[in-house]
Structure 1
């Protein structure tokens, strides 16, 4: 028989698709042709696979070899098809019996010596296998603990092509995956390290409780970056579905922790201000890869020194902030990645950024306007909380000060507030106040009394708040009420929400 077929998995974005790998041998000059929309890495598989087969003690057929990847309309990328291609070729040549691989999926990149090397995206690949009803997967040993996170799928780990060939020809059992190593405990920054900043702490707690975006303005050294870096420490752990999404994205990017555990803590990304649109949003040739905004999915994206970012980079965030997803169209297809983040912008008030602030600022009013003007109005309009933090006083920095609560205490209040929001909005398919559509909050039974929102309506009529800002104040008010243990916001909650939204003194 000169034809054989095995199964593999290809990724488009974060979604896996089971791919049939066909191999056919025909008379003619020895050559290898790969069809089915392969990328450059797949075209190079011809030489990798041939060397791996020969160095594993097997005979490479000197015939015309056609390898087809089905469905042919699905773009294929990466080196994870190597193992399946090698087995299909050897099966079509009669070198290996393929009956033991019925309903089995193969994943792995081949080294020239026949070693089976780990691949990126093993977790969403195995999840796709489970979704399509297959129950056995052969993966590289380095991906075994990661693949074992998916329930209902039996994982076998191989180190070399020779080991897999011995299993097929002699029935030598393949080893089960190793047990996952205990997750490493990395210390996280704590709010107890922060001196003063009562307004900043309150804004951070409200942002954490409701999932709101946050902008922190103020002189250098006031604690803006310290506040932002401690936001993940007060966020609750991710539920199973969100943890699987986050772990899959990090698997695709090759950033999964070595112990092979689900990522339970909200991720934190802080790209440098020289980052490009592709680095922030995602990109690359062929099919686009996830960027920092997707790697921060269900977590925090901090843009420190935000006005130093290119304006087109900042404006590229507007669509992900609105929809919680990134859709990237490239020549080889369209990739879609989740990107539901909490954005934190930190900015100095002017280019000179002297620690004493406005007292000794050398910048002209025009220079100050231009500097903060790099943060466009449409972007800032999507940021729920916008506060100005003041420089730290000596007494706060050098003496015992009250109110310096640790992250654990704040996290407990945040968890209670989030639980209240989940219970209230679960019937509408939402997890947090920040995700609630404005029209829902403006209609019964969630519409607030006219006397409570009188000031909010007046600001909308005067034009000091946009319609989007009106809805965001309502969301903030619900979060404030949740933190204070009330079932519905009142006029005081609306007033505080306006202050957090506009940056006015509370």
Structure 2
């Protein structure tokens, strides 16, 4: 009679219940694993054999067949080691596990029988809860991650012996999650930024509505310094947002042992030599890329014109759809990527066009340089702002700028307005509005409508640019705590669409 142990696999950030069926029968001694396993799962045969023997148990010299059902789901990773080992011990009557169907078991085994961390524990836990399985046996390393799900009863262990002892004696209480949410006050603060009032305002508007922002300025003007402080004015992640971020970091294997739920918004800064696969995601195991790791946080692309053009163009869909679908021969996965893009660049190769220092570039060199930002890509950016060099008087000024704390209060208030507005729409911010929601929530009076009609016709704006102007105007109105969009909101939003040549695009 075959023994059945419940475990799970994951595809993207979604879990999938898997049954480990163990059959030990007569025949020539062999150990086979079937059910669409990858190489790491096939290699578990040697790990399981050594772990069972080195833990003081007997390994059967018989024909062993392990089936991972359903067979149409690709099984990836070493998390099946522990359920396979437990199944073999039950099948050889070395232990009795009468209520095995109430437990979901996962974990990688070392040759000595120690349990090692595995990826994807959080989505697997959520899938288990959805299938009415509340008890989880897993490595000690993954205890914090699994226990963030309130309904989960987590039993973490260091090695195979401890698991067997628990199955025999049931002498362990479930692990309790220490909900020690910490709002760490970092050293970075907007009060360190001297001057740059127009840029600070643009950053505040972008943060309030989760809009994408492009900063243009000469070298040393403070673009990177400003971008590093954007996270200090964003509200903390909600429980639902934190779960989404934690699931992504779980499947990518980037969670630390002491990390349960992620409360800090991600801040990702890929280097300009990054490939399109590293940025978008993919590879043999269809891992999330930088755009997904920045989900519900910030993706900062410094010196964006130093990126390869083909890498920049793959950002078009994530910036618009806020999800990325990766299709490869090994499968198809969908990852969320609702990030706030902060982009910084110099205006020309020498970096000083439009500043107080003389530019040494020729006109065609400037056009070729800035031309790496294609029209479709610029269309997907909500705000443009110029970061000027500071004068000597500004550098010597002893007065501090407005602190991150006071800016964050206004941003949180605007975000709360948006949260209440979109309560029934399943979105969080103005930047996520589609055409239907723009028509519903961005209604203009006659004066505002005439202003934007004139600009639309004069500069031949695209429909996407028009909708982004309305979204930004809606955010400005929220910051000013106004229910209706007024002319001043539209005028300010239009100023944020001015590019290098002073044209509105």
Query: 2:442, 2:471 within 8 Å by CA — same for their partners in 1?
Result: no
| SS state at 1:264 partner | coil
Question: Which residue is equivalent to 2:342?
Answer: 344
Q: Which range moved further: 420-429 or 488-497?
A: 420-429
Question: Which residue is equivalent to 1:367?
Answer: 365
Residue 422 of structure 1, CA deviation: 2.1
- Partner Cα separation in structure 1 for residue 179 and residue 438 of structure 2: 46
Question: Which residue is equivalent to 1:434?
Answer: 431
Residue 475 of structure 1, CA deviation: 0.7
- Partner Cα separation in structure 2 for residue 446 and residue 270 of structure 1: 33
| SS state at 1:46 partner | helix
Q: What is the aligned counterpart of 1:414 among 411, 415, 418?
A: 411
Query: 2:108, 2:116 within 8 Å by CA — same for their partners in 1?
Result: yes
- Structure 1's 162 and 440: CA in aligned 2 closer, same or farther, altered over 3 A? closer
Gaps in structure 2 of 5+ consecutive residues: none
Residue 420 of structure 1, CA deviation: 1.6
Residue 300 of structure 1, CA deviation: 0.5
Question: Which residue is equivalent to 2:4?
Answer: 5
- Partner Cα separation in structure 1 for residue 436 and residue 131 of structure 2: 38
Question: Which residue is equivalent to 1:254?
Answer: 253
Q: Which range moved further: 228-237 or 458-467?
A: 458-467
Per-residue CA distance 1:28-49 (angstroms, 9 max, x = gap): 2222211111111111111111
- Partner Cα separation in structure 1 for residue 48 and residue 445 of structure 2: 70
- Structure 1's 423 and 177: CA in aligned 2 closer, same or farther, altered over 3 A? closer
| SS state at 2:78 partner | coil
Question: Which residue is equivalent to 1:301?
Answer: 299
- Structure 1's 176 and 276: CA in aligned 2 closer, same or farther, altered over 3 A? same
Query: 1:9, 1:16 within 8 Å by CA — same for their partners in 2?
Result: yes
Question: Which residue is equivalent to 2:95?
Answer: 96
Query: 1:220, 1:355 within 8 Å by CA — same for their partners in 2?
Result: no
Question: Which residue is equivalent to 2:332?
Answer: 334
Residue 344 of structure 1, CA deviation: 0.9
Residue 182 of structure 1, CA deviation: 4.5
Query: 1:91, 1:98 within 8 Å by CA — same for their partners in 2?
Result: yes
- Partner Cα separation in structure 2 for residue 428 and residue 177 of structure 1: 36
Query: 2:442, 2:485 within 8 Å by CA — same for their partners in 1?
Result: no
| SS state at 1:215 partner | strand
| SS state at 2:424 partner | helix
| SS state at 1:378 partner | helix
Question: Which residue is equivalent to 2:455?
Answer: 459
Query: 1:121, 1:252 within 8 Å by CA — same for their partners in 2?
Result: yes
| SS state at 1:313 partner | helix
- Partner Cα separation in structure 2 for residue 257 and residue 233 of structure 1: 22
- Partner Cα separation in structure 2 for residue 244 and residue 188 of structure 1: 26
- Partner Cα separation in structure 2 for residue 375 and residue 220 of structure 1: 19
- Partner Cα separation in structure 1 for residue 212 and residue 221 of structure 2: 20
Query: 2:346, 2:352 within 8 Å by CA — same for their partners in 1?
Result: no
Per-residue CA distance 1:177-231 (angstroms, 9 max, x = gap): 2653846636252111111111110000000111110000010111111111111
- Structure 1's 409 and 75: CA in aligned 2 closer, same or farther, altered over 3 A? same
Per-residue CA distance 1:389-420 (angstroms, 9 max, x = gap): 11111111121246x10100000011111112
Residue 380 of structure 1, CA deviation: 1.1
- Partner Cα separation in structure 1 for residue 252 and residue 342 of structure 2: 23
Q: What is the aligned counterpart of 1:473 among 469, 475, 495?
A: 469
Question: Which residue is equivalent to 1:198?
Answer: 197
Query: 1:288, 1:335 within 8 Å by CA — same for their partners in 2?
Result: yes
Query: 1:182, 1:259 within 8 Å by CA — same for their partners in 2?
Result: no
- Partner Cα separation in structure 1 for residue 356 and residue 310 of structure 2: 29
Per-residue CA distance 1:292-335 (angstroms, 9 max, x = gap): 11111011000000011111111111111111111111222111
- Structure 1's 489 and 356: CA in aligned 2 closer, same or farther, altered over 3 A? closer
Question: Which residue is equivalent to 1:134?
Answer: 133
- Partner Cα separation in structure 1 for residue 187 and residue 109 of structure 2: 38
Query: 2:142, 2:257 within 8 Å by CA — same for their partners in 1?
Result: no
| SS state at 1:99 partner | coil
Query: 1:33, 1:67 within 8 Å by CA — same for their partners in 2?
Result: yes
Question: Which residue is equivalent to 1:493?
Answer: 489
- Partner Cα separation in structure 2 for residue 319 and residue 332 of structure 1: 22
Residue 166 of structure 1, CA deviation: 2.4
Question: Which residue is equivalent to 1:55?
Answer: 54
Question: TM-score if structure 1 supplies the norm length?
Answer: 0.94
Query: 2:147, 2:176 within 8 Å by CA — same for their partners in 1?
Result: no
Residue pairs, 1:305-324, within 5 angstroms: 305-324=303-322
Gaps in structure 1 of 5+ consecutive residues: none
- Partner Cα separation in structure 1 for residue 294 and residue 35 of structure 2: 33
